[in-house]
Amino acid sequence: MIFSIRTALMGDAESISNLIVPLTRKYVCPDCDVSVHDVLLASMSTDRIKLYLSSNYSYLVAISDNNEVIGVVGIRDNSHLFHLFVHDSFQGIGLSRKLWEVAKNLAMKNGNRGRFTVNSALRAEQIYKNFGFNRIDGVRREKGMVDIPMVMDKVCGDVISTDSSSVI
C-alpha cells in the first residue's frame, strides 16, 4: 500500500469532513448522549473544517494512490491533538501512528517542546496509550460528551523527519 502524507489544503475540507463524520458516528457517538450527536457532527462539517484550516489548527492528510483522503490528523495551537481518523479500510497498517508522528514532529519543529494533550474517545484510548499518552483523569462525562483527557509530557524515541510530506 502506497500513500502520501501532506499538509491539508482548503480544497481538502469536504473530503476530510466526508471521512470523519461517518467514523465519528460509528466510533464516538455511541458513547455520547444522543442530545450531542448533531452538535458533535456539525463541528466536523465542511464549513467547520474550512474554519479550522484557516485558523490556529494544523491538518495533515494521508492520500491513497487513488488520490483519496484516507486519513487525517489535526492539531490545535501546536499542542492539542484535535482530530485523528483513518478510514476503516486502512486501519491496522500503522497509518494513524505515521500521521501522528509526522504531525508531532511538525509541531515540535514549530516550537512545541514535547507536551501534547488529547481528549480521547473511549474506543481510542489504547491507541493513544501506544503513542505515549497517559490519562490525566478518569472518564469525563460533561454536557452529554464522553471522553478521556490525556497528556504526553515528553516525546520518547527518535524524532523522525519534520518534513510534512512523506511517502510510505
CATH classification for the domain delimited by 3-167, as one of 3.90.1150.10, 3.40.630.30, 3.40.50.300, 3.10.20.30 = 3.40.630.30
Work out the percent of the chain whose per-residue pLDDT is above 90. 85
Provide the pLDDT for residue 168.
41
Cell 490525556 belongs to 150
Q: How far apart are CA 35 and CA 105, in angstroms?
A: 37
Q: Where are the domains of the chain?
A: 3-167
Average pLDDT of the residues in 70-94: 97
**pLDDT at site 34:** 93
Give 111's pLDDT tier (boundaries 50, 70, 90): very high
Give pLDDT, residue 165. Answer: 44
126 neighbors 132 (Cβ within 8 angstroms): no
R_g of the chain computed on alpha carbons:
15
